[in-house]
Structure 1
């Protein structure tokens, strides 16, 4: 009986209090709270670009992070799974506060990147790579936003690496390929060894010769290894899976930010060896032993139509880019040809060489100057097509 009495007393008290509440006050409060909650939701899901109409969006994006957590460490594989799961070869996703469009199939890539080439020529700027690592030496050509300076750099690099200019580099290629064969024979001692370090030296020496008139003869030269180590680490920091702070700005302001500190450390190490290379060129100019190269032309005030920063960017692009793509492709190709199945292709290539040249020594001498052996050309093109250096292309804007 007493419990029933207490229960009724509580109900009467609550009824009395709710009766006294002014409905005109409670409605604005509810509206304000709802507005604040909606504003917070919008801020947490806001992207630099609104949702693109007509392009499928992958579902289940989370507030703040978007699809970053779902992408994990292997973005390329996850994007391929989404392509097959949702039956869309082009779709949009959210990388934190950034909206991105992923293009998977060959036909879609051809239509977008070739059919709309001028619309995809720009590059996005990322906090870690552009704001931290590249704050001293400028951007590489492939990562530069499109402007007049970038246009000049691409034009100059195209002239430097174009087919007409290649003829003047034949002696350099002759020397570097000779050194590969020489050192492989010397170091293998009839056994097995990894060819990748030798191919890395080849790739880096060709760009160093073009930019600074310098080459390194030892495969495990300290400077050579430093350039390769720093360059590879910087490439990893450009990945979205490595740098959430590029897409979630709040992370940039955390104390003892490991990614920012790592970026600054790599920037300082890169600045050190780039300054070392430039100082070597200055020293050679003073001693009269310099060779024709991009850096020497600038230091001697020769007409280049490029600023010092633009030339530095070109040199940085060549030094940073070649040592990753060329060794990977060559290692894949040589590795495939070295298998029992690959021996067949070697025999066919050798027979095709003998079909075009009466003497093998003549073929060797002509190999740098002409490309008139169809089967060898086919192997080279297939190596470029088959092996993918990077699972995902650099982002376009």
Structure 2
């Protein structure tokens, strides 16, 4: 029996009319939307034409967006436009163009875009410094954070860097059975990264790998920060770019089609503020009593200018530091895999450490050393694997000009760090892993390394991040020989083929290796005597 026979005539006609009205409304919306998208294209700036509604969003299904954009730059030039749904964005793919725009017109390139998912749902109340649009508040927060992260201040954090590197070695040693078995190094890497964020920011830390799952607060931090990273992903939160999708969530929740709990994004944002508030109040109390340990937020609180910051602005500084674990974890994981598969690099590094006399030093002296090859190795690991291959997007603060094109204010701009770190004009043999490029008298020694961005919104903690990685690499190579997991091929250290999925942060697929103590049981005594006594 047909529907027209069941329903009264007028009702059936009304139903037909409603359906046709909705179809016509959707068609009109889509036509208007395409006109809007067409008009938002930047005149005189080349770029690929996208598909209706979604633009260029799904035109790189087989490879990460950064590599797609790098390839497109061969056709469209180093600076071109793309359309992500309704959002027109500019992608910068060469070192020369990046310097001309981010340095030559730095004030105009100083802001950040506002995203529907991240800013209007997750971080509605507070955003980190790195994700905040440019205004007086952001300027104050960045100035105070920079004061706590200058070179002089970073040198005072050396005991923390040595401690966390030493604890990382302890975790590896307790699991490796003197190198007889392959181990999953991810828990040790996770504790190292989380401890760096917590200790450097709040002066508190994770006591053991077991605490990562047993301690409710730490478990909460790990889960929430993982969710935050997903919401910050500029390539997958499609509601940022396609307004029509913003109506899907309430409908999906109404009909039980959404896999996420109701208001999940807002709930994650609330939970992040709660634990940061707990940690901040604990630190404030320690500062008042004079019992605080050297840390970034403590330095900010002791700065007289911090009195001008609101509670939300203080938490914003903390959120910025906590985000550092996002890049530390995969960078250290890539390093472990690289050393395992490149024994030539590993032995060069060990020889440099030995020749510099570091092996006779206690752990607490390591962060203050300067082993040139390890410093170069640290820079090359960051360049070669660059875990944020597309840097956090910027937004133009005022109009910007590029070769006859005017890029309007509030346009989203991507720095393709992956492409810039592979720019043959800047680096000789850019696709090869060559630490020597950063040594004295090398042609690339003064080249800019794009892993931390460039220009006015470059990562404010870049010097600290480099020192932290240098210190942990120094400890690791001096005291362990690393071997690859059985059956694992060299593809594990390919920055593209070795990736785990296509997430915003470039995490390696590999996670196992053998860690063989170079001095056997003597390592225990060394780890327990950080001052050499």
Shared fold by TM > 0.5?
Answer: yes
**Greater Cα offset, 72-81 or 183-192:** 72-81
Q: Distance in 2 between matches of 1:297 and 1:366?
A: 23
SS at match of 2:393: coil
**Greater Cα offset, 262-271 or 288-297:** 288-297
Aligned-pair CA distance for 1:78:
3.5
Describe the shift of the 1:286–1:377 C-alpha distance in structure 2 as closer, same or farther (beyond 3 A).
closer
Q: Which runs of 5+ in 2 are unaligned?
A: 1-26, 253-257, 396-533
**Greater Cα offset, 241-250 or 279-288:** 279-288
Describe the shift of the 1:241–1:362 C-alpha distance in structure 2 as closer, same or farther (beyond 3 A).
closer
Aligned-pair CA distance for 1:81:
4.2
Post-superposition Cα deviations, 1:341-370, rounded to whole Å, max 9, x if no partner, equal x2222322232233333x731385542113
Tell me what 1:139 maps to: 127
Corresponding residue pairs, total: 353
Matches within 5 A, 1:90-105: 90-105=79-94
SS at match of 2:80: strand
**1:264 partnered with 2:266:** yes
Tell me what 2:95 maps to: 106
Matches within 5 A, 1:190-339: 190=178, 191-220=181-210, 221-222=212-213, 223-254=217-248, 255-256=250-251, 258=258, 261-281=263-283, 289-293=291-295, 304-307=306-309, 308-319=311-322, 321-339=323-341
Post-superposition Cα deviations, 1:364-392, rounded to whole Å, max 9, x if no partner, equal 55421131x22122111111111121231
Larger radius of gyration: 1
Q: Distance in 2 between matches of 1:279 and 1:183?
A: 30
Contact 1:89 1:105 in 2 (8 A): yes
**Greater Cα offset, 347-356 or 73-82:** 73-82
Tell me what 1:361 maps to: 360
Contact 2:145 2:296 in 1 (8 A): no
**1:168 partnered with 2:171:** no
Aligned-pair CA distance for 1:213:
1.9
TM-score (norm 1): 0.78
Q: Distance in 2 between matches of 1:39 and 1:194?
A: 52
Contact 2:203 2:294 in 1 (8 A): yes
- Computed over aligned residues only, the root mean square deviation of the Cα atoms, in angstroms, reads 3.1
Tell me what 1:22 maps to: none
Aligned-pair CA distance for 1:109:
2.9
Q: Which runs of 5+ in 1 are unaligned?
A: 1-36
Q: Distance in 2 between matches of 1:377 and 1:39?
A: 56
SS at match of 2:306: coil
**Greater share of residues in helix:** 1
Post-superposition Cα deviations, 1:204-232, rounded to whole Å, max 9, x if no partner, equal 22221233221111224233343233222
Q: Distance in 2 between matches of 1:95 and 1:383?
A: 31
Post-superposition Cα deviations, 1:294-345, rounded to whole Å, max 9, x if no partner, equal 55678899762441222110011101x2111112112212221122xx2222
Contact 1:353 1:363 in 2 (8 A): no
Aligned-pair CA distance for 1:165:
0.5
Alignment partner of 1:183 out of 137, 147, 171: 171
SS at match of 1:94: strand
Tell me what 1:385 maps to: 383
Aligned-pair CA distance for 1:287:
8.1
Tell me what 2:115 maps to: 126
